[in-house]
Amino acid sequence: MTNEDIIMLQTIERYLDGSMLPAERSYFEQLRKNTSEIDQMVVEHSMFLSEMHGYKQRRNFKHTLNEIHDKLLLGGDIKVNGETTVKGKVIQLYHKYKRDMAIAASVGGVIAVVISTMFSYFSPSMSDSRLQQLSSDLDKVKKNQQVQGSIINEVKSKLPKNVSLISGGSGFLIDCKGFIVTNAHVVKGNCAIVSNNNGDEFNADIVFTDASKDIAILKINDEDFKNRKSLPYSISKNNVDLGEEIFTLGFPKNDITYTQGYLSSNTGLNGDTTNYQIQMNANPGNSGGPVFNKSGELVGILSSKQTQADGVTFAIKSKNLFSLITELKKEDTLLQKIKMPVSIAPVKNIERKEQVKKIEDCVFSVKAYNKIK
């Protein structure tokens, strides 16, 4: 990251936390209106500050669970070695199903009732004071846990401690072995984590970036990731017809989002022939996401939007990927393994909602950070 990028991020943080003077804030807001890149940075940084806050809450929740575990261990309710008590078996069940119970907690109070019932079933002789103490501890857990939406995210994260997310957006598979394409501006750090719509996180290496083309390639490098047998879509080498219906999937928020539009121009900003102009209300988190035609063929990579015009978005033409990958294979042995799907899309002749169901598992949320040396 350059000094200019650091200064800009510091300015954006002052803008978001309200510490700017009125005159300075007015000038920055005008600059934001006139510069789409700065506006995009503001929205993306705001989104990731929010995600960092949520991550901190989940870590606090995990810490609280550990405190309860230690307390029960000291009280003799569970043992580290040797035979486990009946009460310990109940605690083991709790740890095994704590995520399901956390989801139930969003309904309010359910987790305390479930645990109390389990204790009553397995250990009728347990004293009322013990039950009351456990109920009290669980109430503290619920108070510390901030429910985001109706489902609580997984407590554990593969994001290393003491690092900050720098940038993010969306990405998609171009190969069954875990190669992902996104925008270069989405991965400003030197490390990345990608996650699917189920919330499963995977470590990924940033193997190529080209800021001028705004394209980056990642390779999932995680034992938890299982290679796919095939991709449900093909990657088109042809141009899209003017007025053709298109759609995208991406992560402008925590869960995957579907957006529909149409091709409004065969050139991008200032007549750029490597890009399309599409009429679509895309958000910053959609950057790097795939653009499909009605047959389920990948025709573009969502890259940016024009803030001066409502719903005007740009996408890099997919045919550029083939020439780029061909050149990279001459120099990089890792990228020689990439085999992009070019045959007829398996989802071509099915309804849109079924297309989306098959495609969504191949689209990822991408988060970049700098690794601590």
CB atoms within 10 A of CB 164: 12
- Asked if residues 138 and 115 have their Cβ atoms less than 8 Å apart, the reply is yes
Which residues does the annotation mark as catalytic?
A: 185, 214, 287
241: which DSSP letter? Answer: P
CB 240 within 8 A of CB 353: no
Name residues whose C-beta falls within 8 Å of residue 43's C-beta, 6 or more positions apart in sequence: 283, 284
How far apart (Å, rounded) are the C-alpha atoms in residues 44 and 129?
49
Apex 297 CA angle, 295 and 300, nearest 5: 130
The b/e string for 133-151 (b: 16+ C-beta within 10 A; e otherwise) is ebeebbeebbeebebbeee
What CA–CA distance (Å, rounded) separates 281 from 348? 24
Rounded (10°) angle between helices 86-96 and 36-74: 170
Q: Please report which residue ranges of the chain form alpha helices under DSSP H.
A: 3-17, 22-34, 36-74, 86-96, 98-105, 110-122, 128-144, 319-329, 352-359
